[in-house]
Amino acid sequence: MKKCLLFLAVIALFSCGADKGHEKTINGIMIDCSRLLEQHEYYYRLIDFMSDWDMNTLLLHFSDDHGLSVVIPGFEQLAHPRAFTPEEIQKLISYGETKGIEIIPELEVFGHTRYITDHPDYHHLFLGDRTGNISFNALDPLNPESIAVMESMIAAVADMFPSQYFHLGCDEVNLSALGLSKENETKVWSDYVNTMIGIAVDRGKTPIIWNDHLQKNMAIAEYLRKDVLLMEWNYVPDYKPKNLERFLEMGYPAIIMAPSISCYLLRVLPSRPGLMNTDAMAASVREGTAAGLVNTIWLPMRYIQDAMWYGIAYSGFLINSDRVMDVHLFHRAFARKVFGVPLSKGLEYYLNRWPDLHLDYRFYINLANNRTDYSDQPEKMEELRDVYDVSMQLIDQQPRFRPRKNGSVLNAMYLTTDVMHVLSEGLLLLSGEKRTPEQVRLWREKLLTVIEAVDTEWDKGRYPDDPAKYEAKFPNQAHSHLLIMLKKLEILSIDL
The pLDDT tens digits of the residues spanning 183-209 come to 999 999 999 999 999 999 999 999 999
Domain count, the chain: 2
Kindly state whether residues 63 and 185 are assigned to the same domain: yes
Dihedral angle computed from the Cα positions of residues 469, 473, 478 and 482, in that order, rounded to the nearest 10 degrees: -20
pLDDT surpasses 80 at 9: no
Last residue of one domain, picked from the residues 295, 325, 355: 325
In a domain, 311, yes or no: yes
pLDDT surpasses 90 at 232: yes
Kindly state whether residues 308 and 436 are assigned to the same domain: no
What was the pLDDT predicted at 272?
Answer: 98
Kindly state whether residues 321 and 353 are assigned to the same domain: no
In a domain, 74, yes or no: yes
pLDDT surpasses 90 at 19: no
pLDDT surpasses 90 at 107: yes
What was the pLDDT predicted at 131?
Answer: 87
In a domain, 224, yes or no: yes
pLDDT surpasses 50 at 20: no
Kindly state whether residues 20 and 139 are assigned to the same domain: yes
Domain residues for the domain of 279 are 2-325
Kindly state whether residues 301 and 361 are assigned to the same domain: no
What was the pLDDT predicted at 23?
Answer: 61
Convert the pLDDT of each residue in 49-89 to its tens digit: 999 999 999 999 999 999 999 999 999 999 999 999 999 99
Q: How far apart are the C-alpha atoms of 210 and 170, rounded to whole Å?
A: 6
What was the pLDDT predicted at 244?
Answer: 98
Kindly state whether residues 447 and 393 are assigned to the same domain: yes
CATH, residue 273: 3.20.20.80
Average pLDDT value for residue range 276-302? 98
The answer to whether 62 and 105 are in contact (CB under 8 A) is yes
In a domain, 336, yes or no: no
In a domain, 339, yes or no: no
pLDDT surpasses 60 at 300: yes
pLDDT surpasses 60 at 142: yes
Kindly state whether residues 65 and 23 are assigned to the same domain: yes
Kindly state whether residues 286 and 372 are assigned to the same domain: no
Kindly state whether residues 251 and 185 are assigned to the same domain: yes
Kindly state whether residues 95 and 213 are assigned to the same domain: yes
Kindly state whether residues 366 and 452 are assigned to the same domain: yes
- The pLDDT-based confidence of 130 (bands split at 50, 70, 90) is confident
What was the pLDDT predicted at 400?
Answer: 86
Q: How far apart are the C-alpha atoms of 151 and 114, rounded to whole Å?
A: 17
What was the pLDDT predicted at 24?
Answer: 80
Lowest mean pLDDT among 17-31, 97-111, 274-288, 314-328: 17-31
Kindly state whether residues 27 and 73 are assigned to the same domain: yes
In a domain, 340, yes or no: no
Please tell me which residue, 14 or 92, carries the higher pLDDT value. 92
Buried b (16+ CB within 10 A) or exposed e, 315-350: bbbbbeeeeebebeebbebbbebbbeeebeeebbeb
Convert the pLDDT of each residue in 148-160 to its tens digit: 999 999 999 999 9
In a domain, 431, yes or no: yes
Convert the pLDDT of each residue in 352-370 to its tens digit: 999 999 999 999 999 999 9
What was the pLDDT predicted at 129?
Answer: 87
In DSSP notation, 403-416 reads -SS-HHHHHHHHHH
What was the pLDDT predicted at 8?
Answer: 45
Please give the mean pLDDT across all residues of the chain.
95
Provide, rounded to the nearest whole percent, the portion of the chain with pLDDT above 90. 94
The answer to whether 66 and 35 are in contact (CB under 8 A) is yes
Dihedral angle computed from the Cα positions of residues 427, 431, 437 and 440, in that order, rounded to the nearest 10 degrees: 0
In a domain, 190, yes or no: yes
Provide, rounded to the nearest whole percent, the portion of the chain with pLDDT above 70. 95
Q: What residues contact 50, with CB distance under 8 A and at least 6 apart?
A: 28, 29, 58, 99, 101, 312, 316
